[in-house]
């Protein structure tokens, strides 16, 4: 997992309904003691908007009391367990929003200031293959100039899938220079007047270089695994959405761009499915 400072760290990985358990060790500096008013561990699922940085919205919040008020003179280890935890959303780090899961340990020390430590962990959500997965077929054109038909083999893809399709040129009266297929991610955060939309082009795949002729068909074969994609997120807790699009771009000899965008759904397939 990438931290905010750019460092990559290893963190535990969970799925929803799993038990989150472990041990917390607290050790005072030699010759010192820790006076405290109680120790607790919390499991938090949080959404943070970057335009409202520092304000976390908790959609999951569980707590376990580890110790009653007292003193710690030597290393003390506390086992903890959160059973079959409902973690409905996948960890997400976006342009304007992040969704994170953390364990938060608090040693309550009253006036002297509490000691707080965080441990991130990642949640992945897996889906079975969809029972219905229709192909996408569309016609696009500019009247009396260009008429093309494109077809993608399905509308829902897992993150390691291959997009297979075809483009048919039914009428070509403008000089096409090249044609690309792009994968675009659109992240929407907030609501109403405060909606922020960020669109990123994650992949650009050249389908054709040169002018097509009428009746020609161009095959499409685009592997998704090399790209950093996430599942589609639809209205997560009324806070944000992440959608993916295939964008077909044609450029003519005068550098005019023609494009057609089509939404696709991405999901994470359970290993072995």
Quick: pLDDT tens for 213-252.
788 888 999 999 999 999 999 999 989 999 999 998 888 8
What is the pLDDT, as a whole number, of residue 155? Answer: 95
The closest alpha carbon to 65, from 25, 38, 103, 34, belongs to 38
Q: Does 145 lie in the same domain as 196?
A: yes
pLDDT at 272 over 70: no
Through-space distance between the first and last CA atoms of the chain, rounded to whole angstroms = 25
DSSP class of 28: P
At 136-183, the pLDDT tens digits run: 998 877 777 778 888 999 999 999 999 999 989 888 777 888 888 999
How many CB atoms lie under 10 A from the CB of residue 69? 12
Domain-embedded: residue 131: no
Domain-embedded: residue 243: yes
Per the prediction, the chain carries an average pLDDT of 90
pLDDT band with cut points at 50, 70 and 90 for residue 258: confident
Q: Does 220 lie in the same domain as 163?
A: yes
pTM of the model: 0.87
**How many domains are contained in the chain?**
2
Cβ atoms of residues 167 and 147 within 8 Å: no
Q: How far apart are CA 228 and CA 246, in angstroms?
A: 15
What is the residue range of 205's domain?
Answer: 136-267
Domain-embedded: residue 2: no
CB within 8 Å of 221: residues ≥ 6 apart = 162, 163, 164
Q: In angstroms, how far is CA 107 from the centroid of its own chain?
A: 33
Q: Map tokens 């897992």 to a residue.
A: 158
Specify the CATH number for the domain of residue 101.
2.60.40.640
Final residue in a domain of this structure, among 65, 91, 123: 123
What is the pLDDT, as a whole number, of residue 273? Answer: 52
Could you tell me the CA-to-CA distances from 93 to 4, 100, 203 in Å, in that order?
A: 10, 8, 18
Structure tokens belonging to residue 182: 């792009």
DSSP class of 131: S
């Amino acid at each position: 997992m990438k931290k905010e400072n750019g460092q990559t760290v290893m963190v535990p990985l969970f799925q929803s309904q799993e038990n989150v358990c472990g041990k917390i060790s607290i050790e005072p500096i030699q010759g010192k003691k820790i006076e405290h008013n109680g120790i607790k561990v919390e499991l938090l699922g949080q959404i943070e908007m970057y335009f409202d940085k520092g304000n976390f919205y908790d959609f999951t919040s569980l707590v376990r009391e580890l110790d009653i008020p007292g003193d710690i003179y030597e290393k003390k280890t506390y086992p903890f367990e959160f059973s079959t935890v409902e973690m409905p959303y996948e960890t997400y780090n976006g342009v304007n929003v992040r969704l994170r899961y953390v364990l938060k340990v608090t040693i309550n020390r009253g006036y002297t200031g509490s000691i707080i430590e965080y441990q991130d962990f990642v949640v992945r959500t897996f889906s079975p293959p969809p029972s219905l997965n229709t192909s996408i077929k569309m016609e696009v054109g500019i009247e009396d100039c260009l008429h093309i038909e494109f077809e993608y083999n399905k509308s829902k893809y897992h993150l390691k899938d291959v997009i297979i399709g075809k483009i048919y040129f039914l009428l070509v009266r403008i000089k096409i220079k090249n044609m690309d297929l792009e994968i675009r991610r659109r992240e929407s955060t907030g609501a109403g007047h405060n909606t922020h939309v960020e669109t990123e082009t994650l992949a650009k795949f050249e389908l054709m270089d040169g002018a097509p002729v009428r009746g020609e068909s161009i095959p499409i074969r685009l592997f998704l695994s090399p790209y950093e994609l996430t599942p589609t997120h639809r209205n997560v807790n009324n806070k944000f959405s992440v959608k993916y699009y295939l964008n077909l771009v044609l450029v003519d000899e005068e550098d005019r761009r023609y494009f057609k965008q089509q939404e696709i759904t991405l999901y994470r397939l359970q290993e072995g499915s």
